[in-house]
Amino acid sequence: MLMVALTNVFALVNPWILKQAIDMLSRRFDHGTLLRYALLIVGMSLVEGIFRFAMRRILIGVSRDVEYDLRNDLFAHLLLLPPSFYKRNATGDIMSRATNDLSAVRMVLGPGIMYSINTLTISVMATALLFKISVSLSLLAFLPLALVSFTVKKFGAVVHSKFEKIQEQLSTISTHVHESLTGIRVVRAYHREQAFIEQFERSNNEYFNRNLSLIRISGFFHPLNGFLLGISSVMLLWYGGRQVILGQITLGEFVAFMAYLSMLIWPTIALGWVVNIVQRGAASMGRINALLDAEPEVRDVNAMPVEIGGRIEFRNLNFSYNGAAVLRDISFEVPACSRVAIVGRTGSGKSTLVQLLGRLYPVPDGSIFIDGHDINRIALGNLRRAIGFVPQDAFLFSDTIQENIAFGGIGDPARAREAASVAGLDQDIEGFPHQYETIVGERGITLSGGQKQRATIARALFTNPRILVLDDSLSSVDTYTEERILHRLADAARGCTTLIVSHRISTVQDADQILVLDEGRIVQRGTHSQLLDQSGLYADLYEKQLLKEELDVES
C-alpha cells in the first residue's frame, strides 16, 4: 500500500519538474539549472521505477503464492473426498474450479488490488495537484471526464443486453452444429444436407446481424470517450491558454496540467475493468468454497490401529445410496484364508458390497467386521493397506509399468516381477519396448483391456495384502488365461482371504463359498455343485454361459 503510494508520488513529481523547467525557460536561461532539471527527471523516474518494480513483484508475486497455496489446499481436499463425490461432479467441472476459477480469484488478488490502489492514490494526488494549479481550470477540465464515467455506465447496460443476444444466437448455432453432427446419419440417410446448410446459413446470418448491431453501438463508445477526453484538452488549451495570457498561471503550470490530465485517463478507464474483475473473482471464490466445503463422508472416528488377520463378517448390512436401497439384509462370514465368490446380474449390488469393505462409502456401524473389529473402528489407512483391491475399471496412471505395479509403495521393487508373473503379465511386459520401465497410458503405450486388468491384479498383489478383492477384474481376459491366473492366484494368495466378484461362472466355480445376489439380496449360497443342484438364478447363469461358449467356439 505504502509502496504504491510512494510509486505514485514519484510518478507525480516529474510533471512538476517539467513545469519548473519550462517556467524557467520562458523567463531566464541557465545551462546549469537546465541540466540539473534534466538529470532530476531521469533520477526521479529511476526511483519511481525501482518502487514500481518492487510493487509489481510483491503484489503480483504474493497473488501467485496465494494461488499456489489455494491450489494445494484444493488438491489436498480432493484427496479426502469419496467416490460418491466424483460420481456427482463431472471431472471437467472440478478441473475448471481448480484452474479457471482459481485464476479469476488470483486476478482480484494481484492485478485487481494493484490497479485499484493505484487508481485511487493517483487520482487523489493528481486531482489535488490540479486543483492547486487552478481550481476553475480543474473544474472545467473535469466536466468531460465525468461524462466519460457516465457514458461508460450508460453504454455498459446497452452493450450488455446486445451482448447477451449475441451469446444466445451463438448457442443456437452451436446447438445446431452439435445436433446436425451427432445426427449426421439421419441427415445423410434422408439426403437433407442442403436443407441443413440453409438452416445453418440463416442462423449464421442472424449471428452476423446481431454482432453488427452491437458494433454499431459499441463502435460509438471508444471514439466518444476519445472525443470527451479530447474536449477536456481543448478546454485546457483554450481556458488555460487564457489564464496563461492573463498571468493567472504560468506556462510551466499549463504544461504540467496537461501531463497530469493525461495521467488521469488510464485510471478512469481502469475503474470499470477492476469492478469487472472483482465481480468475476467473487463468483469464482464462491465456486471454490463450495468445493472446499464438500464433506469427506468417510473419516476416522474413535479408530485405532489393528493387526489384521483376514476373517470377515457381514452382519445384517443394509445400505442405501441417494435414497435407494442398494443392499438389503446382507449377512455372511468368510473364514480367514478362504475364497468367497459373489455373482449376480448387472446392478445387483455386487460391486457396492465389496467397495463397502474398503469403506469407499460410509458403512453403517455394526454391520461389517474384520477379525471381530467393526471396520469403522479400524484406522482407514490401516484397513485399506490390509486389502489388495482390484477395482472394476482397470485404471492405471500414466507412469512406468514398474511404478504402477509398485503403486502401494511398501516392499522391495523387485517384487513387482513376482506380482506380474502371478497376474500372468510378465511375458507381455518382456515384449514392451522398455520392459518394466515402459510408460503406459496417454504418453506411452496403450495396453489392451486384458493387460490393464492383469496389471491392476499385480498392483494389488504387490502390497502382500491380507485380504484380496477382485471386483469383476477378469472380464476382459479370455477363459483360458483366466483359468491360469486363478490357478496361480490360489497358490500365491494362499495366505489371504479372497473375495471375487464376477458375472462369469468359470471365474467363481472353484470358490469355497458362492453368494448369488439379486436386487441387493443374497438369494442363493453354497458351493458350485450345491448351487447347480438347485434350480435358480445360478443354474440359469450357468446354462447361458455354456451356450455362449459354444457360440464363441463356432466359426
Partner 1 sequence: MSPHEEEILGKAYDSRLARRLLIYLKPYRGIAAVSVLLTLAISAVQLAGPYLTKLAIDRYILRKDFSGLNFIAGLCLLVLLAQFALSYVQNYTMNWIGQRIMSDMRLQIYKHLQQLEVAFFDRNPVGRLMTRITSDVDVLNDLFTSGVITIFGDVFTLAGIVIVIFIMNARLALVTFSVIPVLFIATLIFKVRVRASYRRVRTAIARINAFLQENITGMAVTQLFVQEKRKFAQFDERNEEHRAANHQSIFYYSVFYPLSELIGATAIALIVWYGGNEILSGALTLGSLVAFIQYSERFYKPISDLGEKFNILQGAMASSERIFKLLDTRPQVFDPEQPEQSPAIRGEIEFRNVSFHYNRGEPVLRNVSFTVSAGEKIAIVGATGAGKSTIINLLNRFYDVSEGSVMIDGVDVRRLPLGRLRRSIGIVLQDVFLFSGTVEENISLHDPEISRERIEHASRIVNADRVVQKLPNRYLHRLNERGSTLSAGERQLLAFARCLAYDPAILVLDEATSNIDTETELLIRDGLEKLMRGRTAIIIAHRLSTIQNCDRILVLHKGELKEAGSHQELLAHRGIYYKLYQLQYKEQLAPTGTL
Stretch that binds partner 1, among 173-181, 308-316, 330-338, 417-425 (CB under 8 A): 173-181
Q: Which secondary-structure segment (H or E) carries 516?
A: strand 513-518
From the number of C-beta atoms within 10 Å of its C-beta (0-12, 13-18, 19+), residue 372 rates as exposed
Asked whether position 64 contacts partner 1 by CB under 8 A, the answer is: yes
Nearest Cα neighbor of 74 from 43, 105, 40 is 105
Smallest distance, Å, CB 247 to partner 1? 9
Please tell me what DSSP assigns to residue 327: E
298, 82 in Cβ contact below 8 A?
yes
Q: Which of 3, 9, 94, 269 binds partner 1 (CB under 8 A)?
A: 94
Q: Which of 125, 140, 159, 177 binds partner 1 (CB under 8 A)?
A: 177
* Helix-then-strand count for the chain, H and E: 21, 10
354, 501 in Cβ contact below 8 A?
yes
Smallest distance, Å, CB 238 to partner 1? 4
Binding to partner 1 (CB under 8 A): which residues in 180-199?
Answer: 180-193, 195-199
Sign of CA dihedral 138, 139, 143, 149: positive
- Rounded CA-CA distance 95/92 in Å is 5
Q: What is the residue whose three cell numbers read 545551462? A: 31
**How many residues lie near partner 1 (CB under 8 A)?**
133
Binding to partner 1 (CB under 8 A): which residues in 245-264?
Answer: 245, 251, 254-255, 258, 262
Smallest distance, Å, CB 160 to partner 1? 18
Smallest distance, Å, CB 416 to partner 1? 14
Asked whether position 303 contacts partner 1 by CB under 8 A, the answer is: no
Asked whether position 328 contacts partner 1 by CB under 8 A, the answer is: no
Q: Which grid coordinates belong to 391?
A: 477395482
The amino acid sitting at 474 is L
Q: Which of 76, 135, 275, 282 binds partner 1 (CB under 8 A)?
A: 76
Stretch that binds partner 1, among 149-157, 228-236, 329-337, 418-426 (CB under 8 A): 228-236
Give me the 354-373 binding string for partner 1, x by CB under 8 A, dash otherwise: ----x-x-------------
Stretch that binds partner 1, among 68-76, 113-121, 342-350, 513-521 (CB under 8 A): 68-76
Please tell me what DSSP assigns to residue 448: P
Stretch that binds partner 1, among 30-38, 126-134, 427-435, 489-497 (CB under 8 A): 30-38
Contacts of 154 (CB under 8 A, 6+ apart): none
Distances (CA, A) of 494 to 181, 422, 425, 464, 498: 55, 12, 20, 11, 9
Asked whether position 65 contacts partner 1 by CB under 8 A, the answer is: yes
Asked whether position 50 contacts partner 1 by CB under 8 A, the answer is: yes
Rounded to 5 degrees, φ, ψ at 507 are: -70, -30
Give me the 455-474 binding string for partner 1, x by CB under 8 A, dash otherwise: ----x---x-----------
Binding to partner 1 (CB under 8 A): which residues in 374-393?
Answer: 380-381, 384-385, 387, 389, 391
Asked whether position 42 contacts partner 1 by CB under 8 A, the answer is: yes
Smallest distance, Å, CB 29 to partner 1? 5
154 vs 484, beta carbon nearer partner 1:
154
Q: Which grid coordinates belong to 277?
A: 474483475
Instruction: State whether residue 396 is helix, strand or coil.
Output: coil
Asked whether position 286 contacts partner 1 by CB under 8 A, the answer is: no
Asked whether position 150 contacts partner 1 by CB under 8 A, the answer is: no
539, 531 in Cβ contact below 8 A?
yes
Asked whether position 29 contacts partner 1 by CB under 8 A, the answer is: yes
113 vs 522, beta carbon nearer partner 1:
113
Instruction: State whether residue 317 is helix, strand or coil.
Output: strand
Q: Which grid coordinates belong to 146?
A: 465525468
Please tell me what DSSP assigns to residue 378: B
97 vs 522, beta carbon nearer partner 1:
97
Q: Which of 131, 142, 200, 321 binds partner 1 (CB under 8 A)?
A: 200
Binding to partner 1 (CB under 8 A): which residues in 508-547?
Answer: 544, 547
Stretch that binds partner 1, among 80-88, 263-271, 303-311, 531-539 (CB under 8 A): 80-88
Binding to partner 1 (CB under 8 A): which residues in 413-452?
Answer: 441-442
Asked whether position 487 contacts partner 1 by CB under 8 A, the answer is: no
Binding to partner 1 (CB under 8 A): which residues in 1-20?
Answer: 14, 18
Beta bridge partners of 344: 517
Instruction: State whether residue 511 is helix, strand or coil.
Output: coil
173, 207 in Cβ contact below 8 A?
yes
Query: Checking DSSP bridges between strand 339-344 and strand 513-518, what pairing results, if any?
Result: parallel
- Rounded CA-CA distance 365/302 in Å is 12
Smallest distance, Å, CB 355 to partner 1? 8
Smallest distance, Å, CB 243 to partner 1? 10
Nearest Cα neighbor of 218 from 292, 165, 180 is 165
